[in-house]
Amino acid sequence: MATDTTTQSYRQPTKQSRTRTRLQGDSSIYVTIFVALIAVGLTLGPIIYLALGGFRSNGQLAADPTGLPDPWVWQNYWNILTQGNFWEYTLNSLIVAVATTAGVVLFGTMAAYPLARYAFKGREGIFIIFTAGLMFPLTVAIFPLFLLLNDLGWVGGYWGLIVPQIAFALPVTVIIMRPFLAALPDELEEAAFMDGLTRVGFFYRMVLPLAKPGMVTVGVLAFLGSWNAYLLPLVILTGREAPTTLPLGVTQFQGQNAADFAGIMAYTFLAMIPALVFFLMMERRIVDGLSGAVKG
């Protein structure tokens, strides 16, 4: 039945275009737009309220929680951007996220390369070990991890965040990169060896440039994961000297200024901006990466 009508609609383009309108509903475009508007409103509404709340005084917020800024108060944002540690925390988060991303992409791709292209005994075993890592969330290992990092003297420093974050991001990276590297044509490798390149040379000259799309995908996911991380910094970044990352900074600000609603709103919104900007720049990559990881 279905096949029958499919061929029919192929034969009759006019009918097909009429179908199109019927399929997409006669007046249902309004339903679509209505649903879209509600979804957008529910998503953006709270964020916009937060941003606007940062432009109000605590008095304004108390007098009329749902009102608009009147007059506009720049003080909250200005104070955070000029006085506190906001920039320092942002820089800390950036350092940790960039180092984590670099480590994940480099070591993950390196590990995936022999697993994809060498034939050797124990290859599947190693791959299964990495795959099983997907089942080990950082949450489960957090206390022994803390003790281990404490013994290494890494508690309260960057390394205590960066190295475990790389380790926990490796499984998904290896799983995404392996089929990607396996898809590179064999002829390429053979030609490179003919030209006298070693395997290592082939990896740096050919694999790294060709695997860029996959590396960007895993890199973007690793960056987001590190930027938003909360539990590991919460446990590791203790002590006076410890650097503070942005998510910790936001909660600290909230803890120290519990009554300053307008200030907390401004701080929280400012802390959201880098992630939103990164998302706007990398939207395609993030969505592809996630749906890729899901379908794989």
Partner 1 sequence: MTALEASGTGKGPVADAKASAAGSTPVTPAQHNARKDNRRKWIEIAIFVGPALLMFLAFVVFPMVMAARYSLYKWDSRQPFELAEFIGLDNYTRALFGGTDPETQEIFWKAYAEPFWNAVGNNAQIIALSMLVQLPIAMLIALVLNRKFPGRSSVRLIIFAPYVLAEVTAGLMWLMLLDPRGPVTQMVQGLGLPTPPQGWLEDPTWGFWTFFFIVSWKYIGLAIILFLAGLAGVPEELQEAASIDGASWWQVQWRINIPLIGPTVRVWAFLSIIGSIQLFDMAWVLNKGGSTNQYATIATLMVDTGTQRNDGGYASALAIIMFIFSMAAALLYLTLVMRRDNAARARKGA
Residues 169-208 that bind partner 1 (CB under 8 A): 170-171, 174, 176, 179-180, 183-185, 187-188, 190-195, 199-200, 203
Write the secondary structure of 181-207 as one string of H (helix), E (strand) and C (coil).
HHCCCHHHHHHHHHCCCCHHHHHHHHH
Sequence letter at residue 103: G
> Which positions from 71 to 100 touch partner 1 by CB under 8 A, shown as an x/- string?
------------------------------
Do residues 109 and 208 lie in contact, with contact meaning Cβ atoms separated by under 8 Å?
yes
Q: Which of residues 251-280 bind partner 1 (CB under 8 A)?
A: 251, 254, 261, 264-265, 268-269, 271-272, 275-276, 278-280
The residues near 50 (Cβ < 8 Å, ≥ 6 apart) are: 265, 268, 269, 272
Residue ranges with strand state E in the chain: none
Q: How far is the CB of 95 from partner 1 (least distance, A)?
A: 17
Cα gap 188→133, rounded to integer Å:
32
Q: How far is the CB of 294 from partner 1 (least distance, A)?
A: 5
> Is residue 2 at the binding interface for partner 1, with CB under 8 A as the rule?
yes
Q: How far is the CB of 189 from partner 1 (least distance, A)?
A: 9
Q: How far is the CB of 49 from partner 1 (least distance, A)?
A: 6
- Of the candidates 156, 155, 153, 158, the residue with the CA atom closest to the CA atom of residue 95: 158
Q: How many residues sit close enough to partner 1 to count as binding (CB under 8 A)?
A: 125
Q: How far is the CB of 97 from partner 1 (least distance, A)?
A: 11
For partner 1, the binding residue among 77, 86, 89, 168 (CB under 8 A) is: 168
| Residue environment code for 208-242, b if the CB has 16+ CB neighbours within 10 A, otherwise e | bebbeebbbbbbbbbbbbbbebeebbebbbeeeeb
Q: How far is the CB of 4 from partner 1 (least distance, A)?
A: 8
For partner 1, the binding residue among 13, 71, 83, 118 (CB under 8 A) is: 118
Distances in Å between the Cα of 38 and the Cα atoms of 33, 47, 139 are 9, 15, 35
Q: Which stretch binds partner 1 (CB under 8 A): 68-76, 77-85, 94-102, 226-234?
A: 226-234
Q: How far is the CB of 295 from partner 1 (least distance, A)?
A: 5
Q: Which of residues 16-75 bind partner 1 (CB under 8 A)?
A: 16, 19-20, 22-25, 28-29, 31-33, 35-36, 39-40, 42-44, 46-47, 49-50, 53, 62, 64-66
Q: Environment class of residue 46 by beta-carbon count within 10 Å: exposed (0-12), middle (13-18) or buried (19+)? A: exposed
